[in-house]
């Protein structure tokens, strides 16, 4: 949580650490991949007027439609471009029919915030030893999300796990992507330990 954002993690299923976010930018609050949570929506309402709900990943419908309807705002499902006047850029991350996976990330330049769904995460099953942030296990193995490197965010809000904030966050993003394949043995060993 920051003065301009609210994040919450759904209690079920616990191991997935499904995270949702509300970001105040451009005078409105944008919700990403939300799971309905009354207390979180109340905290988000205190940030400012709702502007829209963005579903970042084709398989993350979660409660996006219900939250958009409740707030009376548009739902944007994996948009290829930002809605008119939106205070963020859309970054296509994965768009392949082979895996049936379409995912975008959002870049809020006003906040220096990168918001991802599955491309990056901080839940334990994303991480190799010593990492606070790692690529999705499938992307670690096959195609690390290099398109997210080099932006130097101060905040990274992820779809699984807690967000990262502060100086050095951009370097952690770049390191997680650059070292994704090299750290496969450490990541796999961590999965076995956690089982």
pLDDT in tens, 27-86: 999 999 999 999 999 999 999 999 999 999 998 899 999 999 999 999 999 999 999 999
Residue 72 domain-assigned (yes or no): yes
Structural domain total, the chain: 1
Residue 151 domain-assigned (yes or no): yes
Whole-prediction pTM: 0.94
CATH code, domain with 184: 3.60.15.10
What is the overall mean pLDDT for the chain? 93
Residue 2 domain-assigned (yes or no): no
For residue 195, name the pLDDT band (cuts at 50, 70, 90).
low
Check whether 141 has a pLDDT greater than 70: yes
Report the alpha-carbon distance of residue 24 to residue 15 in Å, rounded. 28
Per the structure, the complete domain to which residue 82 belongs is given by 17-194
Residues whose CB is less than 8 angstroms from the CB of residue 1 and which lie 6 or more positions away in sequence, other chains included: 7, 43
Q: What percent of the chain has pLDDT over 90?
A: 82
Residue 156 domain-assigned (yes or no): yes
């Amino acid at each position: 949580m920051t003065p301009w954002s609210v994040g919450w993690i759904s209690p079920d299923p616990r191991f997935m650490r499904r995270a949702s976010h509300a970001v105040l930018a451009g005078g409105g609050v944008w919700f990403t991949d939300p799971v309905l949570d009354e207390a979180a929506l109340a905290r988000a309402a205190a940030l400012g007027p709702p502007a829209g709900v963005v579903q970042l990943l084709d398989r993350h419908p979660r409660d996006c439609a219900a939250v958009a309807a409740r707030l009376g705002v548009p739902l944007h499902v994996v948009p290829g471009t930002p809605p008119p006047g939106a205070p963020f850029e859309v970054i296509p991350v994965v768009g392949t029919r082979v895996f049936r996976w379409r995912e975008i990330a959002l870049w809020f330049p006003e906040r220096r915030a990168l918001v991802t769904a599955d491309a990056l995460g901080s839940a334990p099953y994303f991480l190799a030893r010593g990492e606070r942030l790692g690529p999705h296990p499938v992307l670690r193995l096959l195609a690390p999300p290099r398109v997210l490197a080099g932006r130097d965010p101060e905040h990274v809000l992820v779809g699984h796990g807690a967000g990262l904030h502060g100086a050095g966050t951009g370097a952690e993003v770049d390191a997680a992507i650059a070292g994704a394949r090299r750290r496969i043995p450490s990541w796999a060993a961590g999965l076995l330990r956690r089982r």
